[in-house]
Amino acid sequence: MRNGVIVFIAAFIALGVSWCGFVLAPVMQLGTEKQAAVLNSSDVYPIGRPGEANQGLQVYRANGCAACHTEQVQQSGFACDVMITSAGTNPPAVIAAWWRMQTNFFPNEMTQRFYSVIPNSGGVPQFPFERVRKEIADIAVESFQNVGAKAEIHIIAIGPDIERGWGLRRSVAEDFLYDQPVQLGSLRAGPDLANVGARLPDANWQLVHLYAPQALVKNSTMPPFRFLFEVRKIGNAPSPDALQFSKAFAPPAGCEVVPKPEAKQLAAYLSSLRADAPLYEAPFTPIMTKP
Ligand code: HEC
């Protein structure tokens, strides 16, 4: 073989370049990823999953949940809400400034979706502009301040996944820092689970859903995972772990459904799936819930 050396070098370069692209470049970009600072807070993100939840990751993997569920929220961009926090001493001037901007910037539409007014302010809207560009939000805040009101900008991540309620921001590398292996998934037969712990925090809900999805979600097409549970005769006293079901899904009389350790680990893992910290590369303004 006269061209043996050339073939070898060509193959070496082809494999070497793809190794650099698929292995070296990702390691250089993400291999040193560390806990990140949560925006406007002294907290860091993420903190590792508790032990039981970490074991649950392996149960999740073993049962092929990632065949139907993703753990990656996509985002198409961001928009700003302008919030008036104080109407100041001259509310009519604030309303006039709002209308001036409204007719200037958006002559054909109202940007406001949820109309709420600041109490005792003569009708000053709480969110005069919603889902607008940053430049417009900046101008609005300045104009409101010029007439004595106080206003601030809320950053909102937008995109189809976020509108579905699957997350507050896109998924980033930090979300998976302590997961081995990462369960990104690629097919969405069911909802994305990246933030399911914030959406459905009740571990008991998760257990009932795993045993009988249709008991909680009408016509659910998710397969039940009954082998993660034990149906057994009630002994002297019912187990404190026994799950409660409506009649249609209840076990035979005298029996109870008790989760095996795997089921509890899986429920702990699902409850730990919370990607709700605002980060530098995926910012948003957390909605403050009233205490
Ligand atoms: C054959 C596809 C399929 C598989 C496999 C599957 N799921 Fe589901 N899952 C669904 C569908 C469809 C839904 C939506 C209906 C529902 O909520 O029951 C769903 C819903 C869910 C929900 C509720 C999410 C929400 O936001 O309402 C959770 C949690 C969940 N699945 C966890 C799991 C876990 C854990 C596993 C692995 C043990 C798993 N799923 C395996 C299809 C699947």
Cβ density class 268-281: b for 16+ within 10 Å, e for less:
bbbbbbbbbbbbee
User: One-letter amino acid identity for 42?
Assistant: S
Average pLDDT along the chain: 92
Dihedral sign, Cα of residue 237, residue 241, residue 243, residue 244: positive
User: Is pLDDT at 288 greater than 70 in this prediction?
Assistant: no
| pLDDT at residue 160 tops 80 | yes
Say how far residue 45 (Cα) sits from the centre of its chain.
14
For a ligand 1 pocket test, name from 222, 225, 249, 264 the mutation site with the most ligand atoms within 8 angstroms of its C-beta.
Answer: 222
Cα angle for residues 147, 153, 157 (degrees, 5° grid):
155
Return the residue whose CA atom lies nearest to atom 20 of ligand 1.
Answer: 190
- Tokens in use for 21? 């692209």
Peptide bond into 92 cis (omega under 30): no
CA angle 233/239/240 to nearest 5° reads: 160
N-terminal to C-terminal alpha carbon distance within the chain: 79
Calculate mean pLDDT across residues 202-208.
Answer: 95
Whether the CB-CB separation of 77 and 158 falls below 8 Å is answered with yes
Q: CB-based contacts of 183: which residues, under 8 Å, 6+ apart? A: 57, 60, 61, 65, 66, 71
Neighbours of 113 (CB within 10 A): 9
Residue ID of nearest Cα to ligand 1 atom 14: 190
Ligand 1 atom closest to Cα of residue 166: 26
Which amino acid belongs to residue 71?
E
pLDDT digit string, tens, across residues 165-184: 999 999 999 999 999 999 99
Q: Which one is predicted more confidently, 121 or 268?
A: 268
Q: What is the pLDDT of residue 69?
A: 97
Closest C-alpha among 161, 217, 227 to residue 191: 161
Does the beta carbon of 67 sit less than 6 angstroms from any atom of ligand 1? yes
Q: Is the pLDDT of residue 291 over 80?
A: no
pLDDT at 120: 82
At 118 the pLDDT is 86
Confidence band (pLDDT; 50, 70, 90) for 123? confident
What are the tens digits of pLDDT across the range 23-68? 999 999 988 889 999 998 899 999 999 999 999 999 999 999 999 9
pLDDT digits (tens, 9 = 90+) for 214-255: 999 999 999 999 999 999 999 889 999 999 988 889 999 899
Instruction: Name the pLDDT band for 112 (thresholds 50, 70, 90).
Output: low
Task: Please say if the pLDDT value at position 146 is more than 90.
Answer: yes
Pocket test for ligand 1, best of 69, 73, 219 (most atoms within 8 A of CB): 69
| Residue 225, ligand 1, Cβ within 6 A | yes
Q: Which residue type does 16 have?
A: G
